[in-house]
Amino acid sequence: MKEYFAPMHTAEHILNGFMSKKYGNGRSFSAHLEKKKSKCDYRGFTKNLSPEEVLEIEENVNAVIRQNLDISEKIITKSEAEQIFDISRIPKEDLQNEFSVRIVSVGDFDSCPCIGNHVKNTSEIGIFKIISTSFENEILRIRFKLINENLVN
């Protein structure tokens, strides 16, 4: 299992779920997750986000977090996973056998293959805040952090 800061990694799942549903460009193709701040890069955009779009993303991600959704996981076959998900980002060593794909779900909001660690419930995440966005070479980058008196920010 990949060791990420669990609240941030779970927030990244929610951000990706929202971005995929809202814009239809899929999940981030690259992410860098740290305890203090993180970033996700997305393809398929033609411009940077407007201030209104940034606010909409924050509001929607935080609305999901406030639902206190349980995080669950299940193992499915590689064949099943390939029919439902893009598994191209899963390291080859984690796909060694037919029963090796771990699916992580944030309640009914989002599910995806994942090798990282997560919180047990979205109530453990804190408040999602976008620090900045940028658009360069047809790539949208979203930088974000979590605000929570129980987390070191």
- On the question of pLDDT at 6 being above 50, the answer is yes
Distances (CA, A) of 148 to 55, 66, 90, 126: 19, 13, 30, 5
| Non-local CB neighbours of 92 within 8 Å, separated by 6+ positions | none
What class is the 6-147 domain? alpha beta
4 or 50, which is more confident: 50
- Give the pLDDT confidence score for residue 151 in this predicted structure: 46
Q: Is 135 helix (H, G, I), strand (E, B) or coil?
A: strand
- Range among 22-26, 33-37, 71-75, 140-144 with highest mean pLDDT value: 140-144
Angle at alpha carbon of residue 128, lines to 126 and 131, rounded to 5°: 135
Closest to 139 in 3D by CA, of 75, 43, 69, 57:
43
Q: Kindly give, in sequence order, each residue whose CB lies less than 8 Å from that of residue 141, ignoring residues fewer than 6 positions away.
A: 39, 40, 41, 42, 133, 134, 135
Q: Where are the domains of the chain?
A: 6-147
Q: What is the pTM of this model?
A: 0.89
Q: Give the 3-state secondary structure percentages of the chain, helix then strand then coil, rounded to 5.
A: 30, 30, 35
**How many other CB atoms sit within 10 Å of the CB of residue 143?**
15
Residues 26-30 have a mean pLDDT of 93
In tens, the pLDDT along 51-109 reads: 999 999 999 999 999 999 999 999 888 888 888 887 776 666 655 656 578 889 999 99
Q: What is the per-residue pLDDT across 107-147, written as a single tens digit (0 to 9) for each?
A: 999 999 988 899 999 999 999 999 999 999 999 999 999 99
Are the C-beta atoms of 45 and 141 separated by less than 8 Å? no
